[in-house]
Chain A
Amino acid sequence: AIRITQSPSSLSASTGDRVTITCRASQGISSYLAWYQQKPGKAPKLLIYAASTLQSGVPSRFSGSGSGTDFTLTISCLQSEDFATYYCQQYYSYLFTFGPGTKVDIK
């Protein structure tokens, strides 16, 4: 199975900050990578798919980049509603795998 790592595992930031989260796959997955946001007690929400395509309705302050094995999620100007846990997930292989998550909390 393709292993996914994320860094950092957590970070503290302030509203208005630019935040970057990294995801790395154990083998090349082209652009078959998605990013999800999860708030406590809620289901994850798809933010970005195909590594860089914004899901409908997602604010433009979210962006994704990368291909192959290395990917990033960037939040350009952190808002209060963005404090959450973020997961990346590969769908290159039918054996889908998620990263362990990055918790973004308030500094």
Chain B
Amino acid sequence: QLQLQESGPGLVKPSETLSLTCTVSGGSISSSSYYWGWIRQPPGKGLEWIGSIYYSGSTYYNPSLKSRVTISVDTSKNQFSLKLSSVTAADTAVYYCIRAGSDAFDIWGQGTMVTVSS
């Protein structure tokens, strides 16, 4: 079945750019039936939607992060990516990549912890 796997640095310095990739296996990222996105969870806290990207290429971002976020897709690699610029300690969190259809976020990656620290 379809699986998602996040990858990227676990430690990022303040003011730098956090970059993560989600690799999709067991299915195609190009399906028009689904869209893809990122969720994060600071330690001991709740879930925060970061943004989503659709088959058409349209993107939607959390207004609180919009000025710093870019989500993109690489169909040739069956991957999608997250870039979050100008990070601070408040961006320390577990980052999850997700798949969604018309029925909420049905598949999640295992999550990757990213710490922002010098």
Contact = CB atoms under 8 A, between A and B. Distances in A.
B96 A97 contact: no
A45 B63 CA distance: 25
Interface stretch (B7-15, B23-31, B83-91, B98-106): B98-106
B47 A98 contact: yes
Interface residues of A, number: 23
A46 interface: yes
Interface string B98-118: 001001111011110000000
A94 B108 contact: no
B103 A95 contact: no
B62 A95 contact: yes
A43 B109 CA distance: 7
Interface string A85-99: 001010100111111
A21 B46 CA distance: 16
B49 A98 contact: yes
B104 A46 contact: yes
Q: How many B residues are at the interface, by size bracket?
A: 10 to 19
A34 interface: yes
A68 interface: no
A89 B96 contact: no
A55 B106 contact: yes
A44 interface: yes
Given A97-B49, A98-B49, A50 B103 contact: yes
Given A36-B105, A44-B108, A91-B104, 4 more contacts: A45-B108, A55-B106, A94-B52, A96-B49
7 contacts: A42-B110, A43-B109, A53-B103, A91-B104, A94-B52, A98-B48, A101-B46
Q: Pick the 8 closest A-B CB pairs, nearest first.
A: A34-B104, A43-B108, A49-B103, A96-B49, A49-B104, A98-B47, A94-B60, A101-B46
Interface of A: 1, 34, 36, 42-46, 49-50, 53, 55, 87, 89, 91, 94-101
